[in-house]
Amino acid sequence: MATDPRSPAAGLQGSRCSGCAVTVYPAEDTCPRCGEPADPAALQGTGTLWTWTVQRYAPKSPPYQAPPGGFVPFALGYVELAEGVRVAAVLDLEDLDDIRIGMPLTVAAGPGVPRARPTARGEEGT
């Protein structure tokens, strides 16, 4: 049984086109640009914040169901990885006012949308 490319056990798995060399996340069997076959590619997982927004209001219900503690605002952004791929991720930061375009982040796969946190010193390029 193959590992789900979005599972935490798989790391951040994308794919790279065998024809035009474009890299995408999540992994695809064929290239979205040229249609050639694509091969699995482990993505580095470090990059910089390209853009972001803060969700300050709970979504309409249904289908949304508030968690037991109630809705808590959160940030969602696109992180541009070293491979040139932009990955949508929830931004795990203590203070939403600290978010800045260009800040170094580390992205990890998880259940649902990937999550990004500030990159620790010495972690760049891993």
pLDDT digits (tens, 9 = 90+) for 13-33: 999 999 999 999 999 999 999
Query: Which residue is associated with the tokens 């390209």?
Result: 50
* Rounded distance between C-alpha atoms, residue 88 and residue 50, angstroms: 10
* C-alpha dist (Å) from residue 6 to 40, 85, 86, 108, 122: 12, 15, 15, 9, 26
> Is 122 a residue whose pLDDT tops 90?
no
Say what the pLDDT of residue 57 is: 92
pLDDT of residue 5: 47
50-107 confidence digits (pLDDT tens): 999 999 998 888 888 888 999 999 999 999 999 999 999 999 999 999 999 999 999 9
pLDDT the model gives residue 123: 64
pLDDT at 4 over 60: no
| Whole-prediction pTM | 0.82
Helix (H) or strand (E) holding 81: strand 74-81
Task: State the Cα–Cα distance between residues 10 and 20, nearest whole angstrom.
Answer: 25
Domain 8-118 in this protein, CATH class: mainly beta
- pLDDT in the model for residue 125: 56
